[in-house]
Amino acid sequence: MNKIKYILLLFFINIFDAKAEIKILEWKEVAKLTKYGRESLFSIKIQAQNLPKNTGISSFSIASSQKKIEYSSLKVNLIDAKFKNQNGVFEVLFNRPLLDNQTANIEFIAKDYYLKISKYLRQEPFYVPAFVQGAIGEIEIQISDDLELISNHKNISSRNNSISFKGRIPKEGIKEILKLTNSGVVWNVEVRSKINISSTNGTMEITAPYLFRGGAQSVRNQTIGANIFPKQHLTTRENDILTFDINPKINEIIIENKAEVATGKKFRIDNDRSPEKYLEITESEKNLLTPILKKIFLNPKYDTLPLHVKILNYVHDNITYDLDYYGKLLTVEQILETKSGVCSEYATLFNALARLANIPSSIVHGYALGEYDKFESHAWNMIFVNNRWVHVDPTWNLSSGIVSSSHIYLKDNRKEELLVKFQGQETDIQIDREFAIEDSKKY
């Protein structure tokens, strides 16, 4: 009897006999996330088709670009079977050849060891290869209470601690990246505003707002202080006002704004600000963006998505991230011309399009952990949908209404970061800001 080996690659099927065909009838995966990566139980049903007479399939293989996968507990039709695992190719050896029209049920466990897992924004593949098209698919990823899904996905449902897909596998397969974040983190955050003064005499009044308040996070133990004792320190509902007598010996005042900021679903709070104030848009922006908004409405790619998700996906797909634009703060017109920018440009364009679509929106300023696990200044958006304020991030393509637990809200466009008034001899005043953030480990 002739024997054929089949290799099913994650990107294509390599068939060694043009007359032969192997059909995937069912593709099932139940996975749980682990500290090292992921552990999955696979159940795959295949059928041999169009095999020549007296010809059988002795094995088939699944190849992966991920080399650190351990396989175990292989069974073919409920009977233990042998396998080979070399150079990223998992080869299933049938106990007896599979003849034409015969089926085989293959079960195995795969432990995938990731090279890196981000603590605060975990990115998890939700993947079914294209060669499985037409098969009955059931994919489930089980997550712990310590994680929550923050990305939006077509045809993928999320309920309690389960993320799943059920149905026929589409022609292109399924290629999604799930974005997950911690359900609760308490950060120690300190923002230091350094006010540099040339030698002079006078009185300086500094209005320091209560940063961090107004987002979806909880704020506690907040204090505002200075490196030198003020002449007067007044506290209002939204600000602290510090007054200093300035003399030539004082060349720097540091305002320290400290707080414990708790993020994630365990600490999430609602915002009661009035949405009507966040619909303003200029006539020139209306003229520029109305044709674009119509294109977004008509684009079949965004067909079944909510309006704010359509807009966010458009912005994310049509702006190229380019660090050369850092600090330039482009206008909407300039963003449309360059089609490039950093987070501020993504947030600015989304903000204008959302308002044009009658979705109240604000640009949010704060901090977030970047790709190098380092906190950086960041901008995203807060929008009013379904009668509540939620946060979205067009730069990171987060449209579910939840951003990562490393997104720390500082302020929005309507709040001044620091207001300085000086009375006295003419002097140069410069303000620099720095920040320090650490995980308090209190959750």
Which CATH number covers residue 96?
2.60.40.1730
Please state the pTM of the whole predicted model.
0.85
Q: Report the pLDDT value the prediction gives residue 21, as an integer from 0 to 100.
A: 78
Q: Report the pLDDT value the prediction gives residue 20, as an integer from 0 to 100.
A: 64
**What is the residue-level pLDDT of the chain in tens, covering all 443 positions?**
343 443 443 323 333 444 567 899 999 999 999 999 999 999 999 999 988 888 889 998 888 877 789 999 999 999 999 999 988 899 999 999 999 999 999 999 999 999 989 889 999 999 999 999 999 999 999 999 999 999 988 889 999 899 999 999 999 999 999 999 999 999 999 999 999 998 889 999 999 999 999 899 999 999 999 999 999 999 998 899 999 999 999 999 999 999 999 999 999 998 888 999 999 999 999 999 999 999 999 988 888 889 999 999 999 999 999 998 888 889 999 999 999 999 999 999 999 999 999 999 999 999 999 766 789 999 999 999 999 999 999 999 999 999 999 999 999 876 777 899 999 888 888 999 999 999 998 76
In this structure, are 233 and 328 located in the same domain? no
Q: Report the pLDDT value the prediction gives residue 8, as an integer from 0 to 100.
A: 42
In this structure, are 245 and 301 located in the same domain? no
Q: Report the pLDDT value the prediction gives residue 413, as an integer from 0 to 100.
A: 74
Would you say residue 177 lies in a domain? yes
Residues spanned by the domain of 20: 2-182
d(CA 356, CA 293): 8
Residue in this structure with the two tokens 């320190």, named with its chain if needed: 233
Distance of CA 133 to the CA centre of its chain: 28
d(CA 10, CA 66): 10
Beta bridge partners of 157: 164
Give the three-state DSSP class for 131: helix
In this structure, are 424 and 393 located in the same domain? no
Paired tokens of 100: 């034409």
Would you say residue 270 lies in a domain? no
Would you say residue 411 lies in a domain? no
Would you say residue 229 lies in a domain? yes
Would you say residue 328 lies in a domain? yes
Q: Where does 169-286 show beta strands of DSSP type E?
A: 174-182, 185-197, 202-209, 218-226, 232-235, 239-246, 252-263
In this structure, are 168 and 201 located in the same domain? no
